[in-house]
Amino acid sequence: MNVADLGLPVAVPSTALFTDQYELTMVQAALRSGTADRRSVFEVFTRRLPEGRRYGVVAGTGRLLDAVENFRFDATILDFLTERGILDETTRAWLADYRFRGDIWGYPEGEVYFPGSPILRVEGTFAEAVLLETVILSILNHDSAVAAAASRMSVAAGERPLIEMGARRTHELAAVAASRAAYVGGFHTTSDLAAGFRYNIPTAGTSAHSFTLLHDNERDAFTAQVDSLGAGTTLLVDTYDVTEAVRTAVEVAGPGLGAVRIDSGDLLLLAHRVRQQLDELGATDTRIVVTSDLDEYAIASLAAAPVDAYGVGTQLVTGSGHPTCSMVYKLVARADSNGDGAPLRPVAKKSMGGKASHGGRKWAARRPDADGVAEAEVIGTGPVPAELADRQLMVPLVRGGEVVAREPLDAARERHIAARAGLPMSAMQLSRGEAVLPTEYV
Amino acid sequence: MNVADLGLPVAVPSTALFTDQYELTMVQAALRSGTADRRSVFEVFTRRLPEGRRYGVVAGTGRLLDAVENFRFDATILDFLTERGILDETTRAWLADYRFRGDIWGYPEGEVYFPGSPILRVEGTFAEAVLLETVILSILNHDSAVAAAASRMSVAAGERPLIEMGARRTHELAAVAASRAAYVGGFHTTSDLAAGFRYNIPTAGTSAHSFTLLHDNERDAFTAQVDSLGAGTTLLVDTYDVTEAVRTAVEVAGPGLGAVRIDSGDLLLLAHRVRQQLDELGATDTRIVVTSDLDEYAIASLAAAPVDAYGVGTQLVTGSGHPTCSMVYKLVARADSNGDGAPLRPVAKKSMGGKASHGGRKWAARRPDADGVAEAEVIGTGPVPAELADRQLMVPLVRGGEVVAREPLDAARERHIAARAGLPMSAMQLSRGEAVLPTEYV
């Protein structure tokens, strides 16, 4: 098996099985009916943002490019599909030769999006493009959901650092992708060593309650930790009595103690009390880290408290109430016959129950107002108006099957900060509301 | 690198990086303070069920055993940790030799659980047992959340088959674990080829709207599909007009058409209308599959409709509103000194903000009433009462580091059906309520 680097902490061969069975049966039927080579355009978009959210955040693009590059069917996979009776011989032979040779355009990673935004466009033959549907949606739906939650938390946290610590609350490999997406959305560090290994994200973490309980008393535990990690470490002070723990912590580590962590109780009250106590003990530079079931609202409610960093777990990796996006992958245009020269015809499912689609191959641009603040997401199928030509959002990601848009993760993180800064101020409100930009179809 | 079979569609070396950094810093500090070898008992439990839920479902145990067995630190991993400054040389040497040599007991996979149930007990030295915290919680929290949702959906569906099709709505590898958990919870098939490959779960899927849109008209599309997959296939009938599509479908495939699928619109109304039309066309054995954003409530609302199978995506893989469980991994007892002979002392964090723990190494039993229906989850730290001796819930999973409880996935699935059947009838209510069994501590 060819071994690929798929954004995992480990090498994994091929992404081709991360696929719904119907993609293969469609390829087989299309090969048989002679339509498999019709030039086709698929687009990824959402019909709506999660309820109350002001904007979405594109994340996972880098992982998606790896997945497309490594989407190959080797003998092990083909034998499985054949044994299951899913493939005929013609399809098997076609899949054995498969690699994606088409083009992909999309919103770059970290960019914001709105209902209808053509987040990704995949162009190729029907058969080569339809196959990628499941894995592309898996990656974008998961990673973008986490990044959107991260972005809101980073708005709430302002300049204070955010630590991602949700690995234990989600699938062990989803956790690695979640750390990555959180970093794109504005987090600073992660507890997840696999994410540190794979994406070079700074890692953090010192001790849990079990470490204090292991020792005969809190002083022994703090002494053991300071001996091992130095006075700059973070001591967890809520195993027994917080006030006593803080006193012991400063006695053991000295006023140069790096930080104390509070993981339970009334964080607002405790933060004030602990800050005062630390200051009285001369530990004026000792920071306070809080980490108890936080979400963006809890973070915001601590804005006036003397808190220096937030650790966020469950609510981050579960998208703060919205663990997935509703991105879909739809055929929007296709040729009437095979071959590169055939003209494209817009297609769309008939609307029923709100599942409407806009047919046609689209461009997208973000129109600024006179002050340079974004005022509309403009989406069209015809020529791009001259005044929007340099405001276009889609960039080439894959050309003729070759990935052309690899970038360091920090580029996506910085892009997100810039994109968010270009939105109207109301984008930063945590309260429920409509998408902060209207979508205009031209 | 040693290559392990971790419940993934592909081989993955080592689970040791699926770990929060603080597990390693605690090991290092404990090695230094001389407490690393204190015999310790960690337990996994939840303080509560998700709001309104009547029972939880243990899932992921099989994956967990693989993860424990393959939790090894090779040179690549150790070099990374050393370069990051996370490890000193003593800890590095200790990790290089690491394998778990302790014992694990737990509720077997598919069993139900309640607040406080000791779902898993890990016994060993502090250092060897604390290391497993993150990966164990990741697996159990994710898989059990999906299995609980699946179980409720399978109650709602009754005898009708359930198809898992949520891969596109979650991380691509979380999707594989979700298919597995859904199968444990009562689903019958999956769209996810990776889950079929890895777990031998039956797979399903025929075509999407894009296949119809690819062809010049619906008749061409249906003809192509029937030519390729036979008249027993499932035709998707809601791309344009459902009534016309059903007529065309039966004309093309004949009255032996396997099934039609409806993916949008008012499913209750459409199911009745399509059933009548199919019957009038002589296609009395043609089944109706529905697949539009279903959850357990939507499934229940279709109980009286002529629906033959349900396909469920988003709500399944996101745990139907509860994408993770709140399982924690807590030190509940430890020795005062190193060595196997030292007696165990119960330990627990002081309660603050509801984060109470019950110290001590626990047993659990489910007490039946006079009719044999479960009436209480009984948890204790002392001797097991004689009348509960054969009602105990925890079984040995790992002894001295060796996995002793591997089983086929069907065993877990059957166990779940039996466990659920032993609960009071109110467990089957979808409406919100309290845990169906009280937890009694003795």
Q: What is the DSSP track for B165-230?
A: --GGGS-TTHHHHHHHHHHHHT--EESBHHHHHHH---B-----HHHHHHSSSHHHHHHHHHHHH-
**Per the CB < 8 Å rule, is B84 touching A203?**
yes
Looking at chain A, the domain(s) classified CATH 3.20.140.10 span: 21-145+322-441
Report the relative pairing of strands B38-45 and B328-338 from DSSP bridges.
antiparallel
Does A214 sit within 8 Å of B40, measured CB to CB?
yes
Beta carbons of B20 and A324 less than 8 Å apart: no
pLDDT for position B340: 75
pLDDT for the residue B2: 38
- Residue-wise pLDDT tens digits, B131-175: 999 999 999 999 999 999 999 999 999 999 999 999 999 999 999
Q: Quote the minimal CA–CA distance from A194 to chain B in Å.
A: 5
Of B138, B170, B326, the CB nearest to A138: B170
Q: How confident is the model at residue A358 (pLDDT cuts 50, 70, 90)?
A: confident
CA dist., res. A40 & res. A336, Å (int): 10
* 3 state SS of A117: coil
Tokens of B346: 């119960």
Q: What angle do CA A9, A188, B318 make, to 5 degrees?
A: 60
Burial state string for A253-266 with b = 16 or more CB within 10 A and e = fewer than 16:
beeebbbbbbbbbe
Query: What is the sign, positive or negative, of the torsion defined by CA atoms of A152, A153, A157, A160?
Result: negative
Q: Which residue of A has its CA nearest to B39?
A: A214
Q: Which two tokens stand for residue B129?
A: 């047992």
- Please give the mean pLDDT across all residues of chain A: 95
CB within 8 Å: A224 and B352:
no
Residue A6 has pLDDT above 80, yes or no: no
H or E element, residue B26? helix B21-33
Contact between B26 and B331 (Cβ < 8 Å): no
Contact A209, B126 (CB under 8 A): no
What pLDDT, on the 0 to 100 scale, is given for residue A342?
A: 84
Instruction: Report angle CA A134, A138, A143 to the nearest 5 degrees.
Output: 155
Determine the 3-state secondary structure of A223 from DSSP.
helix
Which residues on B lie below 8 Å from A265 (Cβ)? 352-353
CA distance B203 to A25: 12
Tokens of A7: 């954004």
pLDDT at position A3 = 43
Check CB contact under 8 Å for A30 and B209. no
- pTM of the entire structure? 0.97
- Report the amino acid identity of residue B179: S
Tokens 């690929």 belong to A4
Q: Give the Cα separation of A37 and A33 in Å (integer).
A: 10
- Nearest residue of chain A to residue B324 (CA atoms): A169
The pLDDT-based confidence of A62 (bands split at 50, 70, 90) is: very high
| Residue ranges, chain B, pLDDT below 70 | 1-13, 351-356
Helix or strand (DSSP H, E) at B253: helix B242-253
CATH 3.20.20.70 maps onto chain A at: 158-319
Q: Name A44's bridge partners.
A: A120, A329
Neighbouring CB atoms inside 10 A of A441's CB total 12
Residue A265 φ/ψ, nearest 5 degrees: 90, -170
**Residues A225/B29, Cβ–Cβ less than 8 Å:** yes
CA dist B169 and A158 (Å) reads 30
Set of chain A residues whose Cβ sits within 8 Å of the Cβ of B240: 349-350
Burial A234-247 (b: 16+ CB within 10 A, else e): bbbbbbbebeebbb
Say whether residue A138 is in contact with chain B using an 8 A CB cutoff.
yes
- Contact (CB<8Å) B167/A15: no
Q: How far apart, in whole angstroms, are the C-alpha atoms of residue A314 and residue A296?
A: 12
With CB atoms and an 8 Å threshold, state whether A331 touches B28.
Answer: no
- Superfamily for domain range A21-145+322-441: nicotinate phosphoribosyltransferase (3.20.140.10)
Nearest to A193 by CA among A202, A184, A206, A185: A202
Euclidean distance between CA atoms B344 and B214, whole angstroms: 68
Helical ranges in B254-295 per DSSP H: 267-280
Residue closest to A328 by CA, chosen among B22, B310, B153, B264:
B264
* Cα distance between residue A63 and residue A68, in whole Å: 9
In chain B, CATH 3.20.140.10 covers 21-131+327-441
**Would you identify the CATH topology of the domain B158-318?**
TIM Barrel (3.20.20)
Within 13 Å and on the Cβ side, how many CA atoms surround B253?
Answer: 33
Residue numbers in A near B349 (CB within 8 A) = 209, 213, 238-240, 264
Q: Please report the sign of the dihedral spanned by the C-alpha atoms of residue B119, residue B121, residue B126, residue B131.
A: negative
pLDDT band at A353 (very low <50, low <70, confident <90, very high): low
In the structure encoding, which two tokens stand for residue B143, read together?
């898989």
Return the H-helix or E-strand segment holding A245.
helix A242-253
User: E strands of B46-109, at which residues?
Assistant: 56-57, 103-106
Distance CA A250, CA A228 (A): 16
A 10 A CB-CB count for B224 gives 26
Amino acid at A60: G
Pairing status of strand A287-290 against strand A259-262: parallel
Identify whether the C-beta of residue B374 lies closer than 8 Å to the C-beta of residue B437. Answer: yes
| Chain A partners within 8 Å of B11 (Cβ) | 13
Distant-in-sequence, close-in-space partners of A386: CB < 8 Å, separation ≥ 6? none
Q: Which of B15, B20, B141, B238 is the best mutation test for A, with the most CBs of A within 10 A?
A: B20
Q: How many CA atoms lie within 13 A of B77 on its CB side?
A: 26
Express each pLDDT in A185-201 by its tens digit. Answer: 999 999 999 999 999 99
Inter-chain contact B349–A213, Cβ cutoff 8 Å?
yes
Q: Which of A185, A59, A183 is nearest to A119 (CA)?
A: A59
B 156-215 residues with CB below 8 A of A?
165, 167-177, 191-194, 196-197, 203-211, 213-215
- Which top CATH class is A158-319? alpha beta
Query: In this structure, what token pair is assigned to residue A353?
Result: 């129950």
Quick one: pLDDT at residue A350?
83
Looking up tokens 């839920």, which residue turns up? B53
Q: What is the pLDDT of residues B313-357, one digit of tens each?
A: 999 999 999 999 999 999 999 999 887 788 999 999 886 655 557
Query: What is the predicted pLDDT for the residue at A64?
Result: 96
Tell me the shortest Cα–Cα distance from A5 to chain B, in angstroms. Answer: 12
DSSP string, B329-379: EEEEEEEEEESTTSPEEE--PPP-TT-----S--EEEEEE-TTS-EEEEEE
* Interface membership of A82 toward B (CB under 8 Å): no
Give dist(CA B246, CA B260) in Å, integer: 8
Q: How far is CA B327 from CA A149, A176, B60, in A?
A: 22, 19, 13
For residue A340, what pLDDT is reported? 75
Q: What are phi and psi of B278, to 5 degrees?
A: -60, -45
Asked if B168 and A141 come within 8 Å (Cβ–Cβ), the reply is yes
User: CB distance B225–A17 less than 8 Å?
Assistant: no
CA dist., res. A54 & res. A114, Å (int) = 8
What the block records as the tokens of A33 is 């009916």
3-state secondary structure (DSSP) of residue B259: strand
pLDDT higher than 50, residue A2: no
> How many of the other CB atoms lie within 10 Å of CB of B269?
10
**Is the confidence at residue A5, as pLDDT, over 60?**
no
**B25, B141, B165: residue with CB nearest A207:** B25
- Chain A residues in contact with B204 by the CB 8 A cut-off are 21
Estimate the crossing angle of helix B89-96 against helix B21-33, to 10 degrees: 110
The CATH T-level fold of domain B21-131+327-441 is nicotinate phosphoribosyltransferase (3.20.140)
* A43 phi and psi angles, rounded to 5 deg: -130, 145
Delimiting residues of CATH 3.20.20.70 domain(s) in chain B: 158-318
Q: Which residue of A has its CA nearest to B192?
A: A20
In angstroms, rounded to a whole number, what is the distance separating the alpha carbons of residues B4 and B309?
36
Confidence of residue A1 (pLDDT cuts 50, 70, 90): very low
